[in-house]
Structure 1
Amino acid sequence: MSRQSYELEATVRERIGKGAARELRRQGRVPAVIYGDKKPPIAISLGFKDADKRLRAGGFLTTVATVVVGDEKVRVIPKDYHMDPVRDVLTHVDFLRIGDNTVVTVFVPVHAIKQEQSTGMKRGGALSIVHHEIELQVRADQIPDAIEVDITDLDIGDSVHIEDVVFAPGIKPVIHEKNFTVLAITAPVGFTEVAATPVA
């Protein structure tokens, strides 16, 4: 399931450059740019409170938004943002304009589901998520909230590799190493597997 889209009100920036950007921030605005989809870039500014709220809500870089600029509504996805290193406040956003078939590369979190039913967890094993995010190539309007991995049948010592994960149609993982481990059930400290002793 993809995240709920949202709208941000924006105004066109009449002036660009560092001085103009500083002035905007003093006015409680965040400089931003919309680019892509073979159209000219648009320099805009956003209300700081609305933009910061969306950033802090989570999933900022994986959620499609609509930026309202005057009478125009532009579908976008945030591609990058900058924070003030001292004050930890939003200072700039880059938006990618998306069309009907725009494919983006994004990082999506891994969620292990059915942990209560997991064989290995019931036996005292610990869940170890090796890759907390997986890089995906996916249509911008089909980005999932998370990649869910069912660990019901995993026992202590079992693991799930990227090739074991089932992705929805149209979602392609970006693989930098062959069949890497996504998660595993590790043994508790002092655990030893006791082999069955045959009866004489």
Structure 2
Amino acid sequence: MVQTVRIEAVARDEAGKGAARATRREGLVPGVVYGAKQKATLVAFDPRDIMKELIKGGWQSHLYEVAVKDGPTERTIMREVQFHPVTDRPIHIDFQRVAPGARIRVRVPVVFLNEDTSAGLKAGGVLNVVRREVEVLAETDKVPDHFEIDLLNAKIGDGLRWSAIKDHFGARPGIVGRDFMIASIAAPMVEEEVAPVVAAPEPAKGKGKAPAKAPAKAAAPAKGAAAPAAPAKKK
């Protein structure tokens, strides 16, 4: 089931862009905890703690206990992360409070089992993944860490849909009204072989017949010279 991760934070006194920039100059990442019909709490985090969660992956389906120093511990999900356009480092984080028993909208990663022994993949098929994550509505205490699809008996041409997931853990899909596609086993692409074009060999120098010369044209008579006599007629 879903992991619950504790993450330390300190309170911030002021909101706004100027206050956020001042927090970053102190080496911290500004953030906010909101929701559950309560006043938003301004917080800041150690960037190393944030990067560890982002690198680990799956943070959009984890529960976080944001422990504010000298303050409350909030049960949340990490809802949005803003990144620096050049360094790709997090510059602001939003956490949403969650109440026990409430349903939250999260994205859950999909894991494919038995790829090495899949009938379709062993026959040369290719796993074409349409969705690596599925958006669902799930109870906060029952959010799955991931969904599993077994590829063991999947054959070339098979479509793997929402119904192919082994256990939904009570979650409802965000896409309603159809059994949507998650992956498929596609047929291998066959490249047409083109025969290489072989150029005709050039004749070796000095060998073979020389090309025939064109017949020479008769020289024109010089100016003033008598025209050649016409052949005599036969009597």
* Shift, 1:176, TM fit: 5.7
| CA–CA separation in structure 2 for the residues paired with 1:57 and 1:161 | 27
Indicate the residue corresponding to 2:213 in structure 1. none
Identity %: 33
Indicate the residue corresponding to 1:162 in structure 2. 162
Any conservation in 2 of the 1:77–1:140 contact (CA below 8 Å)?
no
* Shift, 1:32, TM fit: 0.8
Of structures 1 and 2, the one scoring higher in RCO (CA 8 A, sep 6+) is: 1
Q: Secondary structure at the match of 2:48?
A: helix
Further displaced range: 159-168 or 24-33: 159-168
| CA–CA separation in structure 1 for the residues paired with 2:52 and 2:111 | 24
Which consecutive residues of structure 2, in runs of 5 or more, have no partner in the other structure? 192-235
Q: Secondary structure at the match of 2:105?
A: strand
- Pairs within 5 Å for 1:34-183: 34-69=33-68, 70-175=70-175, 178-183=178-183
Q: Secondary structure at the match of 2:116?
A: helix
Any conservation in 2 of the 1:149–1:165 contact (CA below 8 Å)?
yes
Q: Secondary structure at the match of 2:100?
A: coil
Any conservation in 1 of the 2:24–2:91 contact (CA below 8 Å)?
yes
Q: CA RMSD in A?
A: 1.9
| CA–CA separation in structure 2 for the residues paired with 1:51 and 1:131 | 26
Any conservation in 2 of the 1:24–1:30 contact (CA below 8 Å)?
yes
Structure exhibiting the larger radius of gyration computed from Cα positions: 2
Instruction: Compare the two structures and name the one with the higher strand fraction.
Output: 1
Any conservation in 1 of the 2:126–2:188 contact (CA below 8 Å)?
yes
Any conservation in 1 of the 2:143–2:169 contact (CA below 8 Å)?
no
Which consecutive residues of structure 1, in runs of 5 or more, have no partner in the other structure? 192-200
* Cα distance change on mapping 1:169 and 1:63 into 2, 3 Å: closer
| CA–CA separation in structure 2 for the residues paired with 1:75 and 1:128 | 37
| CA–CA separation in structure 1 for the residues paired with 2:77 and 2:25 | 26
Output the TM-score relative to the length of structure 1.
0.87
Q: Secondary structure at the match of 1:183?
A: strand
Amino acid at match of 2:182: V
* Shift, 1:29, TM fit: 1.1
